[in-house]
Amino acid sequence: MEFKTTRFGQLDIRQDEIITFPNGMIGFDNHTKWAILADESNESVGWLQSLEDPGLAFAVVSPRRFIPSYKVRISPEQASSLQIGAGMETFVLVVVSREDSLVTVNLRAPLLVNLSLQVGRQVITTDEQPLRHVIATETIPLRRSA
C-alpha cells in the first residue's frame, strides 16, 4: 500500500506492517490503521503514523528503555481484547510529548501491540503510573539581542 504522509513523504507499507487499533486511540477514536516507522536520526524513537490521516503521527518509545522496571497493569478485559496467547510477540510503547524544555512520556496510557496478530490497544493502567514522566530536557539556545 502506498501512502503519502506530510512528515515522511511517500511510504510503501506492506499489509503485514499495518497495526489495527479497533477502538482507535484516546482522542482519535476514528483512526484505526497505523504503522510504526523508525526514526532515521534517533534509534530510541519510532513514529506511529496514521494510515487514515497523512498529517497524524505520534513519536513513541519503549518505556523500558528509560525505566527498565516499568510494568503495565491492565484489566483482564483489556488483555483479552489483544488476544495475547502463548508464544505471541507483544510490544509496549508510550507516546512522547514536549512541554517547554521537557520531553515526557505518558506512562498511564501505554500502547500495547500484539505483533503476532498486528492488533493494538491504548489502555489506561490499573495502577498509579505517572501521567508525565520526564525522559529528557532540552537546552533552548537563546539569541543575543541586536
State the CATH number of the domain containing residue 95: 2.30.290.10
Quote the pLDDT of residue 75.
79
**pLDDT per residue rounded down to tens, the chain (146 residues):** 899 999 999 999 999 999 999 999 999 999 999 999 998 888 889 999 999 999 999 999 999 998 898 888 877 887 777 777 767 788 999 999 887 888 888 899 999 999 889 999 999 888 877 667 777 776 434 333 23
Residue with cell 493494538: 120
- 88-108 b/e with 16+ CB inside 10 Å = b? eeeebbbbbeeeeeebbbbbb
Amino acid identity at 106: N
- Give the total residue count for the chain: 146
Whole-angstrom distance, CA of residue 45 vs CA of residue 132 = 17
CA distances, 20 to each of 30, 35, 133, 138 (Å): 11, 9, 27, 33
Report yes or no on 85 lying in a domain: yes
Strand ranges (E), the chain: 2-5, 9-12, 19-20, 33-38, 46-50, 57-61, 90-99, 102-105, 111-114, 119-122, 133-137
Contact in structure between 94 and 46 (CB atoms under 8 Å): no
Report yes or no on 146 lying in a domain: no
Report yes or no on 143 lying in a domain: no
Domain hosting residue 30, numbered range: 2-137
Report yes or no on 144 lying in a domain: no
> Total domain count for the chain?
1
Report yes or no on 67 lying in a domain: yes
Q: Which residues contact 146 (CB under 8 A, 6 or more apart)?
A: none
Quote the pLDDT of residue 88.
75
Report yes or no on 71 lying in a domain: yes
The C-alpha angle 54, 59, 60, rounded to 5 degrees, equals 125
Give long-range contacts, CB 8 A cutoff, 24+ apart: 29-33: 31/56
Report yes or no on 145 lying in a domain: no
